[in-house]
Chain A
Amino acid sequence: MSVAILKQGDHLIASIQSALRDHEVLELRDELADRVGRLRARGIVIDVTALDVIDSFVARSLRTIALTAKLRGAETVIVGIQPEVAVAMVQFRLNLEPLHTALDLEEGLELLTSLTEQPPLRP
């Protein structure tokens, strides 16, 4: 599979390296769902910088991944959507609601940290 899944603290980083075939998307989905539980991750960043196209199948799968992860206790942020890809997705009404998106990996991790930050218990 051409997706590297790295663990960074509480977060998982899935970096997509090239265009994905449908079965690879499904593998990614299962792999992430599995690891979120196993590694007790609190957040996932999926980096799609390398994708020139995000079709309805990939968009739906990203949504499924995020919703599944949410049920297992982790937030998901999609990062690195290119301007042309964003325009195309919007035209095809693939708006990824209610997913979180960020510009790049750095921003994504920052957003995840703020999303998963637990407010300190007040006495």
Chain B
Amino acid sequence: MMESESQSLRDSSAPMGVGEASLEELVGYLREKRPELRERWAARISQANLLGVMSEDEIFSEVTAVYDNYVDALETGSVETLQAYARDLSDRIIRRGVETHEVLGIVLLLRDVLARELFVRYQSDPDQLGRVLDIYEPAANRVAVTVGVSFVEQRERIIREQQAAIRELSTPVLQVRDRLLILPIIGGLDSQRARQLTQQLLSAIRESRARMVVIDITGVGMIDLTVANHLVQTVEAARLMGARAIITGLSSEVAQTLVDLGVDLSMMQTVGDLQGGLEEAERLLGYTVIRVEDRSGASER
């Protein structure tokens, strides 16, 4: 499938000279039949239950625009305008939950609608039909590939943006007291995120002149050797900058994994939960927290 498609793509430039006249005729014909074919295509889309999230009117106006762009691309052989339009369209429909199979399905439907029309028109003249299809097929395939690829690329771009946003959001370094930071880690840790996290933490230590850092990993489900080593390195790097780190919230699975992996944890101070970690850090910084009601009792002692 892939092979035959790329084959026809490569051939797209070859028969151009032979069939200039045919191409002109083809494009002229498609323009002439525009209202009818557009209608038929829209009907096929609704029949196939594609684009469920869009209304009939919306589908029809997009169909018109795509149809015109499609015929233009057939005529000029240049897909740039179509590509730009496809990107813009993808951007709009991805956010509404349109799936890849729908987009591909729609473009292939248009190809089928047009191809069938050509068969009907030239059925009495197989030679002419052959020549028209020689021009039509590679160009149509190229257009289909362009639209599909634009959609997927656009989708990947959005996914990348969202990943970056999640990464930014999920590693805040928070100051809870003077000289005391907490770093709640939520979600999976990969090497890249661990590195980024170390950098964020170290610059936060420098900015806020922190002496203690509580790193809470309650939200980390699993941990592997690389990540464990990153964690140890983060703690050591913090120490080199004069800050002590306490790790809290190791789940039993994580603790088990760390022991099984034989990670050297002699450097790391760990406390069961975030509350315990904060209390320990406060104690080391010389803070005592006393309930207001108990204060009179405490001072009497």
Contacts from A to B (Cβ < 8 Å): 78-79, 81-83, 85-87, 89-91, 95-96, 101-104, 107-108, 111
Q: Is the interface of B mostly helix, strand, loop or mixed?
A: helix
Docked-complex contact B209 and A87, CB < 8 angstroms: no
Q: Which residues of B contact A102 (CB under 8 A)?
A: 242
Docked-complex contact A83 and B237, CB < 8 angstroms: yes
Total B residues in contact with A, Cβ cutoff 8 Å: 18
Q: Which residues of B contact A90 (CB under 8 A)?
A: 233, 236-237, 240
Of the candidates A86, A91, A95, A111, which one forms a contact with B241 in the assembled complex, judged by CB atoms under 8 Å apart? A86
Of the listed residues B239, B240, B241, the one surrounded by the most CB atoms of chain A closer than 10 A to its CB is B240
Taken together as a complex, chains A and B put the C-alpha atoms of A79 and B205 apart, in Å, by 13
Of the candidates B203, B233, B237, B241, which one forms a contact with A103 in the assembled complex, judged by CB atoms under 8 Å apart? B241
3 closest A-B pairs by CB: A83-B202, A102-B242, A86-B237
Q: Which residues of B contact A91 (CB under 8 A)?
A: 233
Q: Which residues of B contact A78 (CB under 8 A)?
A: 240
Known interface pairs A83-B206, A86-B202, A87-B198; A103-B236 also in contact (CB < 8 Å):
no
Any A CB within 8 A of the CB of B82: no
Query: B237: nearest residue on chain A (CB-CB)?
Result: A86
Contacts from B to A (Cβ < 8 Å): 198-199, 202-203, 205-206, 209, 211, 233, 236-243, 267
Q: Which residues of A contact B202 (CB under 8 A)?
A: 83, 86-87
Docked-complex contact B241 and A101, CB < 8 angstroms: yes
Taken together as a complex, chains A and B put the C-alpha atoms of A89 and B240 apart, in Å, by 9
Q: Which residues of A contact B267 (CB under 8 A)?
A: 95
Docked-complex contact B242 and A79, CB < 8 angstroms: yes
Taken together as a complex, chains A and B put the C-alpha atoms of A87 and B238 apart, in Å, by 9
Query: B267: nearest residue on chain A (CB-CB)?
Result: A95
Q: Which residues of A contact B199 (CB under 8 A)?
A: 83, 87
What would 5 A/B residue contacts be, using CB atoms closer than 8 Å? Answer: A90-B240, A96-B240, A101-B239, A101-B240, A103-B209
Q: Which residues of A contact B238 (CB under 8 A)?
A: 86
